[in-house]
Amino acid sequence: YRHGEASEVVVGTPDGPVVFGEHHPLVVVAGPCSVENEEMIVETAQRVKAAGAKFLRGGAYKPRTSPYAFQGHGESALELLAKARQVSGLGIITEVMDAAELDKIAEVADVVQVGARNMQNFSLLKKVGAQPKPVLLKRGMAATIEDWLMAAEYILAAGNPNVILCERGIRTFDRQYTRNTLDLSVVPVLRKLTHLPIMIDPSHGTGWSEFVPSMAMAAIAAGSDSLMIEVHPNPPKALSDGPQSLTPDRFDNLMQELAVIGKAV
Ligand code: PEP
Ligand code: MN
């Protein structure tokens, strides 16, 4: 069981430090699944910033089930994230899939994301553990809590104490009505087992934008420290994860709803 106080993960952003942790205000991370072009990423950044988000998320390198699906724009998308960061003042969170790309991703990212599919890529975990940027570790889709905490331990053991744990839904039976099963029981369980900050991602957790607001509010009620929400200016046209992406207007409403129910934004 957990020893000691809750950890604080302090992340430098252009607008100043943002703290993830049990005794700090809710931190909201929002943005598209993939960085598609300059206009959409800058527009999304400005809209989510105005609504109260502290970080912009967006994939440059995308782990897609099919090799024929959009794979992300790679390096050019990193440049667009740098631009959006500068224009908006938001911190940037983006995924590393391959250790060969880690240095150039860490140049732009304020937090480096390790995705569900790489949660047990131990050589990647050791490498993100040996660099200074904070790491967002998403739960593998069939990972036990023990698997997940041990994956986090790889990063800590390699010397990086700044790890945030993100629940993004696990595989259960249903694929028809929900993409994954969002396991909100991890919030109190992780609180008992670990000092690390907790994030909930109801977008990948449900797969459908209409279910995201309820589960975002449930995550806060359970005591989550932060949320990751996919937002796209035109979800039907998104190159990835459109069905689960909120419009900026819907995100705006959600942020107002969240402000009412606790852990003040
Ligand atoms: C993502 O955040 O867009 C993503 C691919 O998430 P996950 O690794 O949880 O599937
Ligand atoms: Mn996505």
Query: What pLDDT sits at residue 263?
Result: 66
Query: What pLDDT sits at residue 261?
Result: 78
Point out the ligand 1 atom lying closest to the alpha carbon of residue 201: 9
- Amino acid 50 reads A
Q: Longest Cα pair distance anywhere in the chain, in angstroms?
A: 47
- Which residue is closest in CA terms to ligand 1's atom 4? 115
- Which residue is closest in CA terms to ligand 1's atom 10? 116
- Which residue is closest in CA terms to ligand 1's atom 3? 33
Query: What pLDDT sits at residue 265?
Result: 47
Q: What is the mean pLDDT of each run of 10 residues along the chain (265 residues)?
A: 90 97 96 98 98 98 98 98 98 98 98 98 98 98 98 98 98 95 98 98 98 97 97 98 98 94 62
Point out the ligand 1 atom lying closest to the alpha carbon of residue 113: 2
Say which ligand is closest to the CA of 228.
1
Give the chain's length. Answer: 265
pTM above 0.90, yes or no: yes
Point out the ligand 1 atom lying closest to the alpha carbon of residue 118: 8
> 35 C-alpha vs ligand 1 centroid, how far in Å?
13
Task: State whether residue 196 is helix, strand or coil.
Answer: coil
Give the residues surrounding ligand 1 with Cβ less than 6 Å away.
Answer: 33, 59, 63, 115-117, 138, 168, 204
Task: State whether residue 114 is helix, strand or coil.
Answer: strand
Say which ligand is closest to the CA of 65.
1
ipTM passes above 0.90: yes
What burial letters (b/e) apply to 57-81, b meaning 16+ CB within 10 Å?
bbbbbbeeeeeeeebbbeeebbebb
What burial letters (b/e) apply to 138-147, b meaning 16+ CB within 10 Å?
bbbbebebee
Which residues face 10 on adjacent strands?
19
Per DSSP, the residues of 14-33 read TT--EEESTTS--EEEEE-S
Mutate to test the pocket of ligand 1, among 29, 33, 44, 206 (most ligand atoms within 8 A of CB): 33
Query: What pLDDT sits at residue 194?
Result: 98
Per DSSP, the residues of 126-170 read HHHHTSSS-EEEEPPTT--HHHHHHHHHHHHHTT---EEEEE--B
Point out the ligand 1 atom lying closest to the alpha carbon of residue 204: 9
